Amino acid sequence: MTLAVTCLQSGGLVATYQCQSACPHCLYRGGPSRAPEYIDQATAAALFAKALSLGATAMHVGGGEPLVDPLSLAGVLAAAAETGMPIEYVETSGSWFDDMDEAVGLLAELRGMGLARLLVSISPMHNGFVPLKKTLGTIEAARIAGVDVFPWQEHFLKDLRAFDPETTHPFAEYLRHFGPDYPARILERTWIHLGGRAFDLFAPALGRRPVEEVLAGASADCRGELTDASHFHMDLYGDYVPGLCSGLAIRAMDLGAPLDPELYPILSTLAESGIRGLYDYAALLEDFTANPAGYVNKCELCQDIRRHLSERGWFESTELAPAEFYATL
């Protein structure tokens, strides 16, 4: 049975992968080394229209850092208004905040263009790149500007306040202060989608297992994960990220119909025979050798196989995208 994504619910638009931060848990491996590219208004409108046609009820705008380019963000908000796509919120880390008056002016201007709610990320991982002073300044600026504020993971404020709010604090400082089991306690307190950089950050807490053990415990296929659209993402390149599997891509305009296995061989293999099928192919035909340190789960193994294929110049399809995701692994 061919793979198809035919119905969407609520999701997000990755407007850019460029970010002033390179947070150690980032699903999409955003950071300052990523291309300074931002979605244009026409592409945003096309993606919003496609999502609406498949039943999406609302989307948010994320990244990267959406406020790295306020003018382009205004274009995204205009595209949402044009297509009738409700925008739940715009995400930000507050890394751009420097001056209160300037921040209030910017957010008030964006409010006039459709910005109703700002999600401000608060976590020890972000604090390695964004001082708490900037985070709190962004929240206050939004409130003054009349923009609703959604402080994401506000429970971490107590942890962040153990350090100087004027400067950044690498995650290693949190480990020294709160103890080596701190990553495990983070996972008990909040949901973090394991992908991208998060594997390395949380592997000490979760442990890695030999590849055969991972394969033995894996489900027979990945169809359920790949077609789960309860919370989906599309990006500036016109791609849909299946199952929040960062580094895998379906052209958004191909959604709604069965995918051609010749155009999507990796996704088709995962849908039909799971990680075992992809591993057998890569090991037998692409000289893939598993990491002797093992893997957290089948998703980390999948990411490692895809990295290997990308390094070998395996571009028989558009599935391994964006290419920069693999270049930073």
Share of the chain above pLDDT 70, in %: 99
Task: Give the pLDDT score at 316.
Answer: 64
| pLDDT of residue 67 exceeding 90 | yes
Compute the distance between CA of residue 322 and CA of residue 306 in angstroms, rounded to an integer.
12
* Helical spans, DSSP H, in 196-297: 198-206, 211-217, 223-227, 265-285
Residue 59 has pLDDT above 90, yes or no: yes
DSSP H or E stretch at residue 179: none
Give backbone dihedrals phi and psi of 87, rounded to 5 degrees, phi first: -105, 115
Q: Which two tokens stand for residue 165?
A: 């709010």
Give yes or no for a contact between 73 and 39, defined as CB atoms under 8 angstroms apart.
no
Question: Mean pLDDT throughout 77-106?
Answer: 98
Query: What is the overall mean pLDDT for the chain?
Result: 96
According to the model, what pLDDT value does residue 307 have?
96
- The rounded radius of gyration (Å) of the Cα atoms in the chain is 20
308: amino acid identity, one letter: H
Distance CA 298, CA 313 (A): 23
Question: Has residue 113 got a pLDDT over 90?
Answer: yes
| In 117-197, alpha helices (H) | 124-127, 132-145, 157-160, 171-178, 182-189
- HSE-CB for 74 with a 13 A CA cutoff: 11
pLDDT for 268 equals 97
CATH number of this structure's domain 10-169: 3.20.20.70
Evaluate whether 215 touches 236 at the Cβ level (below 8 Å): no
Query: How do residues 254-274 score in pLDDT, each as one tens digit?
Result: 999 999 999 999 999 999 999
Confidence band, pLDDT 50/70/90 cuts, at residue 188: very high
Listed residue (197, 271, 244) closest to 21, CA to CA: 197
Domain boundaries, the chain: 10-169, 213-327
